[in-house]
Amino acid sequence: MFIKAHRQLSPALDFTRQEYLSIQAGLLSSYIQPEGQGQPLLFIHSINAAASSYEMRPLALHYAGKRPVYVLDLPGYGFSERSRRTYNPTLFTHAISDFVDHVIKQPVDAVALSLSCEFLGFAALARPSMFRSLAFISPTGFSHSPMPGGNQGIHDLLSFPLWSQGLYNALVSRGSLRYFLQMSFSGPVDEGLVAYAYETSHQPGARYAPLSFVSGQLFTPLIRPQVYERLKQPGLILFDEDPNIRFDAIPEHLQRHSNWQAARISGTRGLPHWEKLTETVTQLEAFWEGAALAAAPATAGSRSGTTWSGHDAS
């Protein structure tokens, strides 16, 4: 069921915007640029206090017109439903899988950022035929020290009506947003990203999903053994330094799973596609070429995935 949108928020991208009503995830908004050849690309933004599809803007613009591009606003963000409800990994997983099943309707090469890599992993595990390849940028879940699970008490405290909005407003002030975004840039923070983060975080209902994030309820502590290690699709990890995430478990993961690769985009701090777009695209292109070969019918024996351990893309 498609619905025409009427909301006071600037679009994150100058693409066609379409809304789909998911029975399991509510109203989902997306940006679509259908022109181009080849497998559709699905880009999924991160989860934070002021997340948005604007985070995926450099990659979306780069591939617009070259391949069909879809950029999804996750529940609680952008033009998607921001109602007061339970925000958990299941909700975000349903949003991704429903969107691919009912809007794109064909297998995708998916790219997710940070915590959303976990939700993409869940979706790809549940619907393997709809995800040809998985590219994870600065993903959570590849540290030997897993993120803690959710704390309902902290969530209830942060959500208390008398102060929840005030707490959230302090978290998304211009100064606070600039400070946290600057942590993810080696060089100057992108001003457009700061401006859009402020705009999207000052919409009705903007605090509900972030409160679940801050209280830890969106993390899956054992995401690597429960999901990442069970995925059969080609997987790519793009990473370098990150102020919030460690990647010390990547070498072990690569040694045990030949369908995974990793490339270090040196000189970045969590958003390599913003500061080193060319290097990021180069790694993605090589990965997708390999994924296409792996998906093709075998002619003379099978082809195994290539493992890159400690590869530096700079």
**Per-residue confidence band for 304, with pLDDT thresholds at 50, 70 and 90:** very low
Q: Say if residue 245's pLDDT is above 50.
A: yes
Domains for the chain: give ranges and CATH numbers: 16-295 (3.40.50.1820)
**Higher pLDDT pick, 296 / 263:** 263
Q: Say if residue 80's pLDDT is above 50.
A: yes
- Per residue in 43-52, pLDDT (tens digit) is 999 999 999 9
Q: Say if residue 167's pLDDT is above 50.
A: yes
- Per residue in 114-126, pLDDT (tens digit) is 999 999 999 999 9
Q: Say if residue 308's pLDDT is above 70.
A: no
Mean pLDDT of the region 33-45: 97
Beta strands 16-22 and 26-33: pairing type? antiparallel
Supply the pLDDT for residue 145.
85
Residue labelled with tokens 């500061």: 275
Mean pLDDT of the region 162-181: 80
**Per-residue confidence band for 215, with pLDDT thresholds at 50, 70 and 90:** confident
Q: Which two tokens stand for residue 83?
A: 């109602």
Supply the pLDDT for residue 230.
98
Mean pLDDT of the region 232-255: 96
Question: For residues 63 and 66, what is the distance between their CA atoms, to the nearest angstrom?
Answer: 5
Question: For residues 312 and 266, what is the distance between their CA atoms, to the nearest angstrom?
Answer: 7
Question: For residues 25 and 250, what is the distance between their CA atoms, to the nearest angstrom?
Answer: 31
Q: Say if residue 2's pLDDT is above 60.
A: no
Provide the percentage of residues in the chain whose pLDDT is more than 90.
78
Supply the pLDDT for residue 151.
52
Supply the pLDDT for residue 216.
84
Mean pLDDT of the region 11-28: 97
Evaluate the CA torsion angle 294, 300, 302, 305 in order and state its sign.
Answer: negative
Give the DSSP per-residue string, 50-101: T--GGGGHHHHHHHTTTS-EEEEEPTTSTTS---SS---HHHHHHHHHHHII
- What mean pLDDT, rounded, does the chain reach? 89
Question: For residues 12 and 56, what is the distance between their CA atoms, to the nearest angstrom?
Answer: 9
Other CB atoms within 10 A of residue 187 CB:
11
Query: ∠ CA 305-311-313 to the nearest 5 degrees?
Result: 110
What one-letter code names the amino acid at 1?
M
**Per-residue confidence band for 170, with pLDDT thresholds at 50, 70 and 90:** confident
Supply the pLDDT for residue 133.
98
The predicted model scores a pTM of: 0.90
